[in-house]
Structures are given as C-alpha cells and as structure tokens.
C-alpha cells in the first residue's frame, strides 16, 4: 500500500527518533509503556529518521527488532555514522562506510529507507575529495539497493559543481527550511528528501495551517515529478520528470511539536493509519 495514497509515488512523512520525554504528554497515550512507543509512532507516521545511528553502533538484532515492531509500508531512514563524515579527508572514509553499511542495516528489509550522510557546518566543499567520497558509497547491501542522501551544511556547497557530483552518483540533496543551513531544492536524484526544522512552540501543530497546506502541495508536486515553484534553487527548474518518492521529516525547532506537524501533513495527504 502506498502511504501517500497516490498510485504514482510514495510520500512518507515522519519525525526524528521516537524516544523523547515531552512527547509522552502530547503524542503518546497516557501510561503507554516506553517499550511500545515505536509500535505506536509507526502507526501514526509513515517514516522515522533514526538519529541514534549517527552517534552509536547498533547490532543486527536491534534492526530486526525495529523491523518487526512496525507495520508494512513503514520506512526507517538512517543517519550514517559521524565517523564517516566528520573527517578532514573524506576520501579516507572507506573503512568507516563499510563498517556502518555492514552493521546489520539490511535486517530492516523492505523498511530500510535512505541513508543520510550529514556533514558538519564547517565542512567546506572540495570537489575532488567530495567526489572521491561519493565514489565509495555502495549501491547495495546484501542484495538490497541503497539510496543515499547528502546533508551538506556549508554555503560553499551552493554551486553547480556540487549539484553535478550529486547527480553523477545518484545522491539526493537535503532540502531544509532552516535559515541556518544552505537551502536549495535542486533535484539531484530520483527521490526527494526534505528536513523541516522550523516548528514553533506557539503553534498548535508546530506549523501554521497555511504552511502545512503548502508543504502538502510541494510534496504532491515532487511526487508527480515536478518542482515546486516557490522553493529556492541554484538552477532553473527542469521539465516535468518521472514520479519520485518523497520523504519529509519534521526535525528540531520546537521538537515537542514535530509529531503534530507530521500528522497534520499526513492528514492533508490522505494518510490512513494502519489498523
């Protein structure tokens, strides 16, 4: 079943993680055991971005446990280990990349979503070194195709040279609405990955209704192969392309509001929680 309700491409919407104390008084039912939080969240959302894999290593049984706790059609996006990206010479990251990809993530099966490679805000774009890093990213693990996402955070990446490299290696580029990081919606792969970071504690759903309406329209445009006209980009929009899978995560800002923002967007997209 397509979580977006579309026959063309999947639109998946979620938050970062599932263990956060303030959600226990406004998202999770009262007295829900902590051990059941993933099962509950995965039936209100259609994806979760896992931040813990950025900081720590997990073993295959953990990924298998996550797989079994979640419904069909649910997807985990995993942030790759910081040891792969927080280094001076990215071309030397091969061993760290292999260690992360081989850590058991394939146990997620069909629920394995994109891998997010997040770079420090101080990491400056170096075309040769960055290209060498992208060449190291594997296209599959245990026979399962991999999708890669680049979360670049230094203004030097806002160049056509970066876009050309990302497209050469079929990597998506994070689009963010954050004023603190480069924000450009140029498409560099056959799927779209948005991280929305401006949830507001003063708003019931974190984002105003009009803003959520706008993100629903943008998600549909992306899924249909188009490019939203009102989002910033480095290059002119291309002609209408093939349908694309879309991933939208509400991250940070007023984090206590991110589940409300995600469920508000899913409602606008016609999502029906699995029974």
In a domain, 170, yes or no: yes
In a domain, 273, yes or no: no
Residue range 169-183: mean pLDDT, rounded = 95
| pLDDT at 99 > cutoff 60 | yes
Residue range 143-147: mean pLDDT, rounded = 97
Residue range 212-219: mean pLDDT, rounded = 98
In a domain, 5, yes or no: no
Containing domain of residue 88, as a range?
11-268
In a domain, 193, yes or no: yes
Q: Which long-range contacts (CB under 8 A, 24 or more apart) does 181-186 make?
A: 181/121, 181/153, 182/152, 182/153, 182/154, 182/155, 182/157, 182/158, 183/232, 184/158, 184/232, 184/233, 184/234, 185/227, 185/228, 185/231, 185/232, 185/233, 186/233, 186/234, 186/235
In a domain, 38, yes or no: yes
In a domain, 192, yes or no: yes
In a domain, 116, yes or no: yes
Per the DSSP assignment, residues forming a β-bridge with 74 are: none
> Could you tell me what percent of the chain has a pLDDT over 70?
96
The rounded distance, in Å, linking the Cα atoms of 130 and 76 is 26
- Backbone phi, psi, residue 36, to 5°: -105, 5
* CATH number of the domain that residue 79 is part of: 3.20.20.410
Number of domains in the chain: 1
| pLDDT at 239 > cutoff 90 | no
Residue range 27-43: mean pLDDT, rounded = 96
Note the pLDDT of residue 9: 65
pLDDT tens, residue by residue, 262-272: 999 999 999 98
| pLDDT at 7 > cutoff 50 | no
Residues 6+ apart with CB under 8 A from 164: none
In a domain, 274, yes or no: no
pLDDT band at 170 (very low <50, low <70, confident <90, very high): very high
């Amino acid at each position: 079943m397509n979580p977006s309700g579309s026959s063309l491409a999947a639109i998946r919407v979620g938050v970062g993680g599932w263990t956060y104390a303030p959600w226990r008084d406004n998202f999770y039912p009262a007295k829900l055991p902590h051990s059941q939080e993933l099962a509950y969240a995965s039936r209100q959302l259609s994806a979760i971005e896992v931040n813990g894999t950025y900081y720590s290593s997990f073993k295959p049984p953990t990924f298998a446990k996550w797989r079994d706790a979640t419904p069909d059609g649910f997807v985990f996006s995993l942030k790759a280990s910081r040891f792969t990206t927080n280094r001076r010479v990215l071309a030397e990251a091969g061993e760290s990349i292999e260690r992360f990809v081989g850590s058991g993530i394939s146990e997620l099966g069909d629920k394995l979503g994109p891998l997010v490679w997040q770079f420090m805000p101080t990491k400056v774009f170096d075309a040769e070194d960055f290209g060498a890093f992208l060449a190291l990213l594997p296209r599959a693990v245990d026979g399962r195709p991999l999708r890669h996402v680049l979360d670049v955070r230094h203004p030097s990446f806002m160049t056509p040279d970066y876009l050309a490299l990302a497209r050469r290696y079929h990597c998506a580029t994070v689009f963010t609405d954050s004023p603190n990081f480069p924000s450009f919606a140029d498409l560099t792969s056959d799927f779209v990955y948005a991280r929305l970071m401006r949830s507001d504690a003063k708003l019931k759903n974190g984002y105003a209704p009009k803003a959520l309406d706008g993100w629903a329209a943008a998600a549909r445009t992306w899924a249909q192969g188009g490019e939203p006209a009102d989002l910033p980009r480095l290059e002119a929009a291309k002609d209408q392309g093939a349908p694309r899978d879309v991933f939208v995560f509400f991250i940070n800002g007023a984090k206590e509001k991110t589940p409300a923002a995600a469920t508000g967007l899913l409602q606008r997209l016609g999502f029906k929680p699995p029974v």
